[in-house]
Amino acid sequence: MALKLNCKYAESFLGENDLTGLKGQVEEAAEKLQKGTGLGNGFLGWVNLPTDYDKQEFERIKKAAETIKSNSKVLIVIGIGGSYLGARAAIEFLNSNNYNELTSGTKIYFTGNSISGSALSELMKICEGKDVSLNVISKSGTTTEPAIAFRVFKEYMENRYGKQEAAKRIFCTTDKAKGTLKKLADEEGYECFVIPDNIGGRFSVLTAVGLLPIAVSGADIDKLMQGAAKAEKAYKETDLLKNDCYKYAALRNAFLRRGYMIELLAAYEPRFSMMNEWFKQLYGESEGKDHKGLFPASVIFSTDLHSMGQYIQDGRRILFETVVNIKECGEDIEIKENADNGDGLNFLAGKKMSYVNEKAFLGTVLAHNDGGVPNLIIELDKADEENLGELIYFFEKACGISGYLLGVNPFDQPGVESYKKNMFALLGKPGYESEKEKLEAKLSK
Ligand code: PA5
């Protein structure tokens, strides 16, 4: 495994038996995941997904990606939450957060992840004069944000290309049989990809949800699945002390039990910032229920050392950090000698920026440790497909184990419905009349 968990900067904050004391509970949680006997067991399709996926569909995804790459300058991906974050996170991790500015291939824009009219109309302007394809992603097919965006973009595509040509440029990723989107796709003749029934949105990045946009970016999705398959195999190890994934799940719970309520995911590369967002959804939506769970937060260093650094060093002692340290990450720059040395940086001449970044990382870990912040380090070799496959599976499996250790169902999200119910009522959706009256009375107080 390229991925390694380094606990050296965390252990001194725990008691001798904090980790080993969880051994039995971790084994029980792992068995529930493997045998499908725990809460939410209808949503465990991701556990064996890296080795047990629809190979024919996988080939169809690659073919569709080639078509899009050959006939489109722009791919618009419509989706929200689990139908959005994984694909974007993977594309930026493997390339750059400036992917669209740097690529000579198809630019990929994500929409339908807010209700902003200005964001949507900006995107239509971006599409002007460029050939466009559309990938609309929604498991339920009824989520408001992507449904509005799809309404707008379907009309845009049909106005530009006519109904028949537009249909060839629209790809749907949704349920295999049910839902509004599937029905529409069948009526209009759009090519469809399946989100398996037993895989929830935030665990779906290795299905067509993530794979089609990721393949359009030029990434090797075979290697991505191979990395995940390696992790699937490695993390079947039942001994907690030999299994980094189980160890991470156990340690974050051990910290929570000691009053560390916030986990800060940190990385030293800007291309990781959308992985941070993916992580926050995965853990926040899986664990934040029944008034339990760590609050997942994130930072990019050294950027955020100049904003959040003060709090992390000196604020309330309720946080621990999980730092993803990527050894090799894209091109590097050597710092040159300067005749004036006005900035006093000649002592760095001949050194690479990655060297300086590494020292910033080590200096920060030690400073934060001194300030009372435990640091778990996830080490990765490089930002490539195999490492990413390992990392995705590592976080997913640890999330399942961790949720069971907490005693929640990690695979549902009942809390997400509350805002939707109020929004529909306030919008006057039929069937929500009495709720509307109550809410308007509250608002007018
Ligand atoms: O993780 C989840 O289940 C959610 O974030 C969903 O992915 C999100 O709400 C989008 O749902 P859908 O794919 O049904 O449009």
The stretch 178-189 carries a mean pLDDT of: 95
The mean per-residue pLDDT over the stretch 166-170 comes to: 98
User: Which pair of structure tokens corresponds to residue 19?
Assistant: 């980790």
Return d(Cα 214, Cα 275) in angstroms, integer: 14
Q: Residue 193: what are its φ and ψ, rounded to 5°?
A: -125, 155
* Other Cβ atoms within 10 Å of 97 Cβ, number: 18
Whether the CB of 147 sits within 6 Å of ligand 1: no
Question: How much distance in Å is there from the Cα of 214 to the middle of ligand 1?
Answer: 18
User: What is the phi-psi region of residue 103: left when phi exceeds 0, alpha when psi lies from -120 to 50, beta otherwise?
Assistant: beta
Q: Which of 111, 135, 140, 283 to mutate to test the pocket of ligand 1 (most atoms within 8 A of CB)?
A: 140
pLDDT reported for residue 409? 97
Q: Which of 333, 330, 303 is nearest to 387 (CA)?
A: 330
Angle formed at CA 249 by CA 248 and CA 252, multiple of 5 degrees: 80
pLDDT for 203 beyond 90: yes
pLDDT over 90 (residue 417): no
Catalytic member of 55, 125, 306, 445 = 306
pLDDT at 121 over 90: yes
Report the separation in Å between the CA atom of 187 and the middle of ligand 1, taken as the mean of its atom positions.
23
Look at residue 24 in the predicted model and tell me its pLDDT. Answer: 96
Q: Which residue has the tokens 């379907």?
A: 154
Nearest atom within ligand 1 for CA of residue 203: 1
Cα(413) to centroid of ligand 1, in Å? 9
Count of residues for the chain? Answer: 445
User: What local confidence, expressed as pLDDT, does residue 145 receive?
Assistant: 96
Do residues 324 and 390 make contact, with C-beta atoms less than 8 angstroms apart? Answer: no
Helices of type H across 322-384:
353-370
Separation of CA 174 and ligand 1 centre (Å):
11
| Residue with CA nearest ligand 1 atom 2 | 201
Instruction: Report pLDDT for 105.
Output: 97
CA 226 – CA 228 distance, rounded (Å): 5
- The atom of ligand 1 lying closest to the CA of 81 is 5
| Cβ(227) – ligand 1 distance below 6 Å | no
Contact (CB, 8 A) for 263 and 295: yes
Percent of the chain with pLDDT over 90: 98
Residue 141 has pLDDT above 90, yes or no: no
User: Per the residue annotation, which of 92, 191, 277, 285 is the catalytic one?
Assistant: 285
- Report how far ligand 1's centroid is from the alpha carbon of 84 (Å): 9
The encoded tokens of residue 226 equal 């191979």
Q: Which helix (H) or strand (E) holds 319?
A: strand 319-328
For the Cβ of 138 lying below 6 angstroms from any atom of ligand 1, the answer is yes
- Please tell me the distance between residue 196's alpha carbon and the centre of ligand 1 in angstroms: 13
4-32 pLDDT, tens per residue? 999 999 999 999 999 999 999 999 999 99
Element (H, E) at 157: helix 144-169
Tell whether ligand 1 has an atom less than 6 A from the beta carbon of residue 201: yes
Q: State yes or no: is 420 an active-site residue.
A: yes
State the average pLDDT over residues 371-394: 98
Q: Spell out a b/e string for 196-212, using b for 16 or more CB atoms within 10 Å of the CB, else e.
A: bebbbbbbbbbbbbbbb
Q: Establish how many alpha carbons lie within 13 A of residue 189's alpha carbon, considering only the half-sphere containing its beta carbon.
A: 7
Instruction: Measure the CA–CA gap between 137 and 61, rounded to whole angstroms.
Output: 14
Average pLDDT over residues 379-408: 98
As a whole-number percent, the residues of the chain with pLDDT over 70 amount to 100
Tell me the per-residue pLDDT of 332-379, one tens digit each, with 9 for 90 and over.
999 999 999 999 999 999 999 999 999 999 999 999 999 999 999 999
Q: Which atom of ligand 1 is nearest to the CA of 140?
A: 14
**Is residue 397 flagged as an active site residue?**
no
Q: What's the DSSP call for residue 336?
A: P
Whose alpha carbon is nearest atom 15 of ligand 1? 138
Q: What is the pLDDT of residue 162?
A: 98
Kindly report the average pLDDT of the chain as a whole number.
Answer: 97
pTM over 0.85: yes
